Amino acid sequence: MNTQPAERPERLACETVHARESLILAPYAMHSARSAGRRYREPEHPYRSPFARDRDRIVHSAAFRRLSGKTQVFTGNLGDYHRTRLTHTMEVASIARTIGRTLRLNEDLIEALALAHDVGHPPFGHAGEDILDGCLHGKGGFNHNRQALRVFELLETRYAAFPGLNLSLEVLQSQAARAHKEAPRHPPLLEAQVVDAADSVAYTTHDADDALELGLLELEEMLQWPMWNEAAGRVRRRCSGLTRAQLRRAVVHQLIDWQVGDLVDTGRQRLAPYVETAAGSQTQQNVRLAPSTDVAEQKAALENLLYQRVYRHPSVLAVRQRAQSALRAMYQALLAEPDRLPAKFRGRAAEDGSARAVSDYLAGMTDRFAVRAFVHRFPEHARDWPGETGVIE
Ligand code: MG
C-alpha cells in the first residue's frame, strides 16, 4: 500500500523554474521563459533560473569581491561606520527585492541587476571616475556603468568556454540602458527600473546617515528639511523619549520605508491596467516606475543638499584631490611604459589600445591596492605626493 502523502497540486506546479515563475510572477514581469538567452549558448540549469545563475556568477566574480575595498562616498580613514561600495550594493539589493517582490516582478533578475549595478566603479568613488574620464578624454572617456559591461563581457576570466561571465542578455541590456540613460536602445525593464529607484533611495538616505555620523551634517539641520521633518514626526507619533542617536536611526528607517511604500503604491497604480493582460513586453515599454511627484521633489532637494554640503565637504574634497593625483600619475606612468602592466592587461592593450587597458587595470583596483601600488611601484611619482598611505587608506 502506498503510504506517501498525496502531492498537493501547488507543489507539483512549482517544481520547475518556469512553472514557479508563472505561478508567482505578474504577467508584466520578465519571466525566465521569455529570456533572449546568452551570447554563448549554454544548456539551462536543472533547477536554477537563468537570472539566479547570473546573480551567482556576479557574486563569485573578483570585481564583485573588490567592492568591499572601494569607496562609496567616504574613504576608510574617516572611520568605520560608513558604507563601502559593497554594503551600499547589498542595501540596494535588499530594497529592490522588497519592491520587486511586492509588485510581483522577477526577484532573481532584480537581485542580479542590483548586485551588478556598481561593479564598474573604480577606486575612490566618483573622484576616481572623474579622473579616469579626464585621462581618456578623446579616447572614449570613462563611465562606471560602461565599465561594468567591460567587466561582464571581457575582463572577468572565469570560464574556459567564453570570455567574461556570459550573463543573460536581459542583464547586459539593462546595464547598457544604465550606461546610455539619455538614449537607451531598449526601454528599461521594470526590474531594472526598480533597481534604479532603490539605488536612489539607498544613497540619498544612507549618504546623509553617514555624513551625520561623521559630523559633516547636524541632525537638527537635517530635521528642518521637509522630508526628514515629516519622517521624524511619524517616528515621534509612534515612540517618545528617544535619544538623538535613536531618533536618527529611526528616521533613516522611516525614510526608507516611506519611499519604498511610495514606489510600491505608484507602481501598483501604473501597473494596474496590465495585471490581467499577458502583454509583458508592452507593459515594460509603457510603464515608468518612479516616486510620486511629491516625494520626487523632496528627494531632489535632499540630493542638492548632499551635493553642496557632503560631496563637496572640505574633508571629502581633500581625499578626492589626493586620490586623483595618485590615479593620474599612475595612468600617465603606465601609458608611457605599458610593459609595466600585468600580463592580462598587456593582452588587453594589444586588443583595445594602451589607454583603455591602463584604465581597465586602474579601475579594477580597490582603494587600498591603488595606494599601495602607487607608493611601492611608482615611488618616483609618490615622493612628493601630498597624502601618506595612512591618511588616504
Ligand atoms: Mg549605487
Task: Flag the least confident range among 78-87, 231-240, 265-274, 354-363.
Answer: 78-87
Distance in Å, CA 193 to ligand 1 centroid: 13
Q: What is the mean pLDDT of residues 313-336?
A: 90
Task: Flag the least confident range among 34-43, 103-112, 223-232, 268-277.
Answer: 268-277
pLDDT at 346: 95
Distance in Å, CA 101 to ligand 1 centroid: 20
Distance in Å, CA 93 to ligand 1 centroid: 10
Distance in Å, CA 391 to ligand 1 centroid: 25
- C-alpha distances (whole Å) from 117 to each of 34, 129, 168 are 22, 15, 15
Q: State which residues have CB under 5 angstroms from ligand 1, the bound ion.
A: 118, 199
Joined grid coordinates for residue 96: 529592490
Distance in angstroms (rounded) separating the CA atoms of residues 201 and 255: 9
Joined grid coordinates for residue 2: 502506498
Distance in Å, CA 199 to ligand 1 centroid: 5
Distance in Å, CA 246 to ligand 1 centroid: 26
pLDDT at 180: 86
**pLDDT confidence of 390, banded at 50, 70, 90?**
very low
Distance in Å, CA 290 to ligand 1 centroid: 16
User: SS3 for the chain, per residue?
Assistant: CCCCCCCCHHHHHCCCHHHHHHHHCCCCCCCHHHCCCECCCCCCCCCCCHHHHHHHHHHCCHHHHHHHHCECCCCHHHCCCCCEHHHHHHHHHHHHHHHHHHCCCCHHHHHHHHHHCCCCCCCCHHHHHHHHHHHCCCCCCCCHHHHHHHHHHHHCECCCCCCECCCEHHHHHHHHHHHCCCCCCCCCCHHHHHHHHHHHHHHHHHHHHHHHHCCCCCHHHHCCCHHHHHHHHHHHHHCCCCCHHHHHHHHHHHHHHHHHHHHHHHHHHHHHHHCCCCCHHHHHHHCCCCCCHHHHHHHHHHHHHHHHHHHCCHHHHHHHHHHHHHHHHHHHHHHHCHHHCCHHHHHHHHHHCHHHHHHHHHHCCCHHHHHHHHHHHCHHHHCCCCCCHHHHC
Q: Which residue has the cell 567574461?
A: 164
Residue 316 has pLDDT above 80, yes or no: yes
pLDDT tens string 247-270: 999 999 999 999 999 999 999 999
Distance in Å, CA 103 to ligand 1 centroid: 22
For residues 278-315, one letter each, b for 16 or more C-beta atoms within 10 angstroms of the residue's C-beta and e for the rest, the string is eebeebbeebebbbeeebeebbeebbebbeeebbebee
Q: Which residue has the cell 523632496?
A: 298
Return the percentage of the chain with pLDDT > 90, whole number.
65
Distance in angstroms (rounded) separating the CA atoms of residues 91 and 73: 15
pLDDT tens string 124-163: 988 999 999 999 999 999 999 999 999 999 999 988 899 9
The structure's pTM equals: 0.92
Distance in Å, CA 118 to ligand 1 centroid: 6
